[in-house]
């Protein structure tokens, strides 16, 4: 058989489709990384300290295997090898992030590092020399510690500080960088951080902080988008949006559907509705629920800070595409009386009295939060299309964590299965998806999971001085997808 039949999940109608395994003309493939996870060189030249530098040095036990990002892939020195790998794979684009404290050591725009500029100029020019588009994330979690000392994302002035940073970044690189991600995964910065207290900054405050942070992140993004739109787009004609991570929330059974939908509004809607909906502002159902939560907790008002009319207008429409990260899903049900509920977004949702479960058939990845659920990739994209209209989608991250080893059948099949679902969304549902980004180019420092959790197409030997990078089976498979512009059979199939 050289085609497959896929039975669409019960959310959509139960019809079997013959699938077209060819990507549309012009569809682009890339791979991604992030500064703190790959660069190392945390204290070279005039680089400032980031909140992740501070966490790993003062609370090493926060990292599962006690490793840190001091050296990690050493991409600060080995960036030429990174470009070589992108070339070997035949990538159309390489998504990487800028380290704010490497570029602006004080966190403010009074000082711009020559060394930081040189590093990113080398990387950008080196990629362009090979015909690979640099896709640049302005902020991927490594906030300058100097700004954290002033409250970080809880201080409303972060909006101005981010605006200054974005202007510096555009003035340095926008002549060559045409696709931008303003902020990667607001949910991680705001919800994962303050609901667990385990990431950087290590602050546990699950009642107020996640929601206040959400507002500031959206305002910061909107300011950056407007600067680009007004001052740089006329010259360079590029694009900028957020990268929003989505975990599909599926009702455990029909009686929990309303709750599951409210949780979708919390993870997708809270970060998307203000930007992508016609009316702007918070999703109405979420606004109503979080007002009740505020009263229940004794605040006498919503835990979700209101937007002014000006703020709604500032944020609404600040997008050029929808950047979506997708990894996994959860089954949702109402918590039982007295049941203890884990932290949102991975383990439960205390503000929603919701407990999470996994389907027994779901295969686990290496990370504790990871279950393989390609069947929900397509419903998630359709949910966004139904809510916000016929947007242009760019998949900004997708991938799986495994243990070590070059024969990563699980990753090969993960990409095959997710890309098949993506093609169904394109061909059967008419969704406009323009590109796909594999997370990640090579193994790197996987935040609290340390160096043990491997997401790479390339394996990295973290004990060799050259941090030797070797392609896995998945790298060869991804290359064959790019070369054929379709989904070929894997080496594990006849
Ligand atoms: C499959 O999709 C590709 C890309 O959109 C298109 O060019 C081709 O005509 C389609 N093939 C069939 C059999 O529909
Ligand atoms: C940089 O940090 C490393 C540890 O990662 C340390 O060994 C080295 O002395 C530091 N260098 C400077 C210049 O502070
Ligand atoms: C709480 O809200 C009620 C009703 O809106 C109001 O009467 C009361 O004064 C408020 N209490 C505080 C402490 O703000
Ligand atoms: C990693 O590199 C070290 C040092 O060069 C070497 O001894 C070791 O065999 C390498 N490990 C693997 C799995 O290749």
Regarding the beta carbon of 18 and ligand 1, being less than 6 Å apart is answered no
The reply to whether 493 falls in a domain is no
Q: What is the Cα–Cα distance from 332 to 335, expressed in whole angstroms?
A: 9
Q: What is the average pLDDT score of the chain? A: 96
* Res. 1: pLDDT tops 70: no
Q: What is the DSSP string of 236-261?
A: H--EEEEEEEEEEEEESSGGGHHHHH
* Res. 52: pLDDT tops 70: yes
The reply to whether 303 falls in a domain is yes
Q: Do 41 and 74 contact (CB within 8 A), yes or no?
A: yes
**Average pLDDT over every residue of 404-426:** 98
Instruction: Output the residue whose Cα is nearest ligand 1's atom 13.
Output: 20
Confidence of residue 95 (pLDDT cuts 50, 70, 90): very high
Per-residue pLDDT of 305-316, as tens digits, reads 999 999 999 999
Q: How many structural domains comprise the chain?
A: 1
> What residues are in contact with ligand 4 under a 6 Å CB criterion?
461, 463-464
CATH code, 421: 3.20.20.80
pTM of the predicted structure, to 2 decimals: 0.95
Q: What is the DSSP string of 188-240?
A: IIIIIHHHHS-SSS----TTTHHHHHHHHHHHHHHHHHHHIIIIIHHHH--EE
Q: Do 75 and 83 contact (CB within 8 A), yes or no?
A: no
Q: Is 444 exposed, middle or buried (0-12, 13-18, 19+ CB in 10 A)?
A: buried
The reply to whether 205 falls in a domain is yes
397 is annotated as an active-site residue: yes
Per-residue pLDDT of 328-369, as tens digits, reads 999 999 999 999 999 999 999 999 999 999 999 999 999 889
The confidence score (pLDDT) of residue 203 equals: 98
Query: Ligand 1: distance of its center to the CA of 91 in Å?
Result: 22
Q: Which ligand is nearest to the CA of 463?
A: 4
Residue-range definition of the domain harbouring residue 218 = 4-484
Regarding the beta carbon of 70 and ligand 2, being less than 6 Å apart is answered yes
The reply to whether 182 falls in a domain is yes
Reduced to 3 states, what is the DSSP secondary structure of residue 161?
helix
The confidence score (pLDDT) of residue 162 equals: 99
The confidence score (pLDDT) of residue 19 equals: 85
Q: Which ligand is nearest to the CA of 485?
A: 1
Per-residue pLDDT of 367-377, as tens digits, reads 889 999 999 99
The reply to whether 287 falls in a domain is yes
Q: What is the Cα–Cα distance from 48 to 100, expressed in whole angstroms?
A: 8
* Res. 15: pLDDT tops 60: no
Regarding the beta carbon of 20 and ligand 1, being less than 6 Å apart is answered yes
Regarding the beta carbon of 24 and ligand 1, being less than 6 Å apart is answered yes
Q: What is the Cα–Cα distance from 336 to 1, expressed in whole angstroms?
A: 47
Regarding the beta carbon of 432 and ligand 1, being less than 6 Å apart is answered no
Percentage of residues of the chain with pLDDT beyond 90: 96
Instruction: Output the residue whose Cα is nearest ligand 2's atom 1.
Output: 43
The confidence score (pLDDT) of residue 6 equals: 35
The confidence score (pLDDT) of residue 246 equals: 98
Q: Is 205 exposed, middle or buried (0-12, 13-18, 19+ CB in 10 A)?
A: middle
Which ligand 4 atom minimizes the distance to the CA of 470?
14
The reply to whether 490 falls in a domain is no
Q: Candidates 43, 47, 52: which one to mutate for ligand 2, based on the most atoms within 8 Å of Cβ?
A: 43
**Average pLDDT over every residue of 20-28:** 98
Q: What is the Cα–Cα distance from 267 to 285, expressed in whole angstroms?
A: 13
Q: What is the Cα–Cα distance from 11 to 408, expressed in whole angstroms?
A: 31
Per-residue pLDDT of 448-487, as tens digits, reads 999 999 999 999 999 999 999 999 999 999 999 999 999 9
The reply to whether 393 falls in a domain is yes
Overall size of the chain counted in residues: 494
* Res. 14: pLDDT tops 80: no
- Which of these is catalytic: 397, 413, 421, 446? 397
The reply to whether 275 falls in a domain is yes
* Contact residues for 223 (Cβ-Cβ < 8 A; gap 6+): 159, 160, 162, 163, 166, 314
**Average pLDDT over every residue of 401-420:** 98
């Amino acid at each position: 058989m050289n085609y497959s039949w896929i039975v669409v999940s019960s959310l959509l109608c139960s019809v079997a489709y013959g699938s077209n395994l060819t990507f549309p003309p012009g569809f682009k493939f890339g791979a991604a990384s992030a500064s703190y996870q790959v660069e190392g060189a945390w204290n070279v030249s005039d680089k400032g300290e980031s909140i992740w530098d501070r966490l790993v040095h003062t609370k090493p036990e926060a990292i599962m295997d006690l490793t840190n990002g001091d050296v990690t892939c050493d991409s600060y020195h080995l960036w030429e090898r990174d470009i070589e790998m992108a070339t070997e794979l035949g990538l159309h684009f390489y998504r990487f992030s800028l380290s704010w404290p490497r570029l602006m050591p004080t966190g403010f725009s009074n000082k711009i590092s020559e060394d930081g500029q040189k590093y990113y100029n080398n990387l950008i020019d080196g990629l362009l020399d090979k015909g690979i588009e640099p896709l640049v994330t302005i902020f991927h979690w490594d906030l300058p510690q100097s700004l954290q000392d002033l409250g970080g994302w809880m201080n409303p002035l972060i909006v101005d500080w981010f605006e200054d940073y974005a202007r510096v970044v555009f003035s340095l690189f926008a002549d060559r960088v045409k696709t931008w991600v303003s902020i990667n995964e607001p949910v991680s910065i705001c919800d994962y951080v303050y609901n667990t207290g385990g990431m950087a900054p290590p602050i546990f405050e699950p009642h107020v902080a996640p929601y206040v942070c959400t507002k500031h992140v959206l305002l910061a993004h909107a300011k950056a988008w407007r600067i680009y739109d007004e001052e740089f787009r006329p010259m360079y004609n590029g694009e900028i949006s957020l990268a929003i991570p989505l975990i599909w929330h599926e009702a455990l059974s029909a009686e929990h559907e309303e709750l599951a939908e409210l949780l979708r509004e919390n993870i997708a809607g809270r970060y998307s509705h203000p930007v992508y909906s016609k009316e702007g502002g918070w999703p109405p159902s979420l606004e109503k629920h979080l007002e009740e939560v505020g009263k229940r907790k004794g605040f006498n008002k919503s835990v979700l800070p209101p937007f002014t009319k000006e703020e709604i207008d500032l944020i609404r429409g600040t997008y050029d595409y929808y950047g979506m990260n997708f990894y996994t899903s959860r089954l949702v049900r109402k918590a039982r009386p007295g049941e203890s509920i884990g932290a949102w977004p991975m383990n439960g949702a205390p503000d929603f009295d919701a407990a999470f479960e996994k389907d027994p058939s779901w295969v686990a990845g290496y990370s504790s939060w990871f279950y393989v659920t390609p069947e929900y990739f397509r419903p998630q994209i359709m949910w966004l299309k139904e809510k916000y209209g016929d947007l242009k989608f760019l998949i900004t991250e997708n991938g799986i964590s495994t243990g070590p080893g070059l024969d990563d059948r699980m990753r090969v099949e993960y990409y095959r299965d997710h890309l098949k679902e993506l093609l169904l969304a394109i061909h059967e549902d008419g969704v406009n998806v323009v590109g796909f980004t594999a997370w990640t180019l090579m193994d790197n420092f996987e935040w609290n999971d340390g160096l043990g959790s491997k997401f790479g197409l390339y394996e990295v030997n973290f004990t060799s001085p050259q941090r030797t990078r070797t392609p896995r089976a998945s790298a060869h498979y991804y290359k064959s997808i790019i070369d054929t512009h379709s989904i070929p059979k894997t080496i594990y199939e006849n």
